[in-house]
Amino acid sequence: MSTKIIQITDLHLNKSKDVVSNGVNTHESANKVIESIRINEKDNDCLILSGDLSNDYSIESYNYLMQLLKDFEAPIYLMSGNHDSPSHLKALTNNKNIFLKNFQCFNNWGVFMFNTKKENSPNGLLKKEELVYFDEVLLNTLYEYIIVFLHHHPVPIGSASMDSMIIENAELLTDRIMKYDKIKAVSWGHIHNEFNLNMGSAKLFSTPSTCYQAKEKSKNFIIDPEALPGYRRIFLNDDGSCDTEVIRVS
């Protein structure tokens, strides 16, 4: 038996549906990706939206998000990115299947979702109170395996512009990854492309944006016009293995 998670990230929705950013209408692109998920991923156990859901903090952008997600019945977990309004995100949890929380368990897996947003900064930051909670989860024997979700990246990706916006105190997570074998996977958004790395017992990976994509390992933030938007499909297996793949949407 396995748990199926769909990760969506970096929608960058705006006050107007007509906004084109880096050559992409972000609303239309997000709509195509989410519609593809609705049609092709009917058996998912939850959706995790890992930040930068909005681009401009506007109420309208979050209203559009709710319209895009209205046909999903599975639980939906929202995470904050550097472009998000935490207060607007919290207001969305009035919907029956929308949640804003740090932790959820599925079978013998614990799913920990950090809020890496640092106020008034594009950088990421791990908060002390969340790390305390994370340690409690790591020590709890009810959860044999752990997957971590973040918005910002916890390791350098070789892109100078994006690595300047890494989680500032990322060693507080990477030290724990090396210490605890039960951490099996770590996934994030933010960097607008796909990245993979093994660390300790964990697979580390990023998920592409639903809109424009960035060229890998570029000094500046350069758009890759050939790279398609997408989402990530993740299977958490009872034996502690994690199977995952990125699905691109034309």
Q: Which of 3, 177, 179 is nearest to 188 (CA)?
A: 177
- Under-50 pLDDT residues of the chain: none
- pLDDT value of residue 216: 87
pLDDT digits over 144-167, tens only? 999 999 999 999 999 998 999 999
Note whether 1 and 72 are within 8 A (CB).
no
CATH level 2 (architecture), domain 2-248: 4-Layer Sandwich (3.60)
Note whether 186 and 154 are within 8 A (CB).
yes
Please state the pTM of the whole predicted model. Answer: 0.96
pLDDT digits over 84-101, tens only? 999 999 999 988 899 999
Structure tokens at 76: 């939906």
Annotated domain spans of the chain: 2-248
- pLDDT value of residue 217: 84
DSSP 8-state class, residue 200: T
d(Cα 244, Cα 237) in Å, to the nearest integer?
11
